[in-house]
Amino acid sequence: MIITSKEEHEILRESGRRLARIRDLVSAMVAPGVSTKTLNGEAERLIRDGGDVPAFLNYTPSESARPYPATLCVSVNDEVVHGVPNENPYILNEGDIVGLDIGLVHRGIITDTAVTVAVGNIDPKAQKLMDATRQALNAGIKVAKAGNHVGDIGAAIEKSVGNRYSIVRKLGGHGVGKNVHEDPFIPNFGTPGTGAELVSGMVLALEPMLNEGSEGVRLAPDGFTFKTVDGKLSAHFEHTILVTDGEAEVITKP
Ligand code: MG
């Protein structure tokens, strides 16, 4: 969406504040022995306690055959994104890395955020992958300003990653606010100065996904979970941002 009023701006900010708090509370629950189903239940409870609505629950993406059955996406290790936490729940193990992706609707405005967190002590290689993915997100945010283009975001992410990891090309960022997925699609690679022009007031969700191995992903039989084709690790970070004439405002900052 494009924010046109001060009132919408305030609702967006409040939506992001609430979502960031819940993301961080659920992240803090991550530990060996915890079930993905428990994380999902807690995320839904926290959203509803605030009087808001989970944005992903019952949302049917255009390419999906059925509505998404959970509040949270929980993607462990070689799962890239959209892992379903409450069908065949998984008990987290020491050394896993777990992506938590969550969205909520507050007074009609949707925000969307994701983090990847460590379960107990993890391999330093996994930590490096997570750090690189967070840095790539920050690099994209830095150039998401009015007058720049969608391709500038992808190019900045690519430059940040270098040849250390593969960038998932099948999935990417998107407009957000009125709907879970809006135009423009924002690839995590690109050419500076190309693609749609960014304008002040645009609400975007930037979300690089980096793989330790090849960039290939495949959809699991559940119709939602994307996994790496080679079984290697993947990490994902996401913020909702508001484009301005200067540096973007990060709506879902901690
Ligand atoms: Mg998203």
Number of structural domains (the chain) is: 1
Q: Would you state the pLDDT for residue 1?
A: 97
Q: Residue 126's pLDDT band (boundaries 50, 70, 90)?
A: very high
Q: Would you state the pLDDT for residue 63?
A: 87
Please give the biggest Cα pair distance in the chain.
Answer: 48
Buried b (16+ CB within 10 A) or exposed e, 148-170: bbbbbbbbbbbebbeeebbbbee
Dist. CA 90 → ligand 1 center (Å): 23
Residue 195 lies in a domain: yes
Residue numbers of the domain that contains 206: 6-250
Dist. CA 89 → ligand 1 center (Å): 22
Residue 1 lies in a domain: no
Dist. CA 238 → ligand 1 center (Å): 7
The CATH number covering residue 235 comes to 3.90.230.10
Note the pTM of the prediction, 2 decimals. 0.98
Residue 17 lies in a domain: yes
Q: Contact at 8 Å (CB) between 117 and 243?
A: no
Dist. CA 250 → ligand 1 center (Å): 14
Dist. CA 176 → ligand 1 center (Å): 8
Residue 52 lies in a domain: yes
CA dihedral of 197, 198, 202, 205, whole degrees rounded to 10 = 100
Q: Across all residues in the chain, what is the average pLDDT?
A: 98
Q: Would you state the pLDDT for residue 47?
A: 98
pLDDT exceeds 90 at position 184: yes
| DSSP designation for 134 | H
pLDDT in tens, 139-153: 999 999 999 999 999
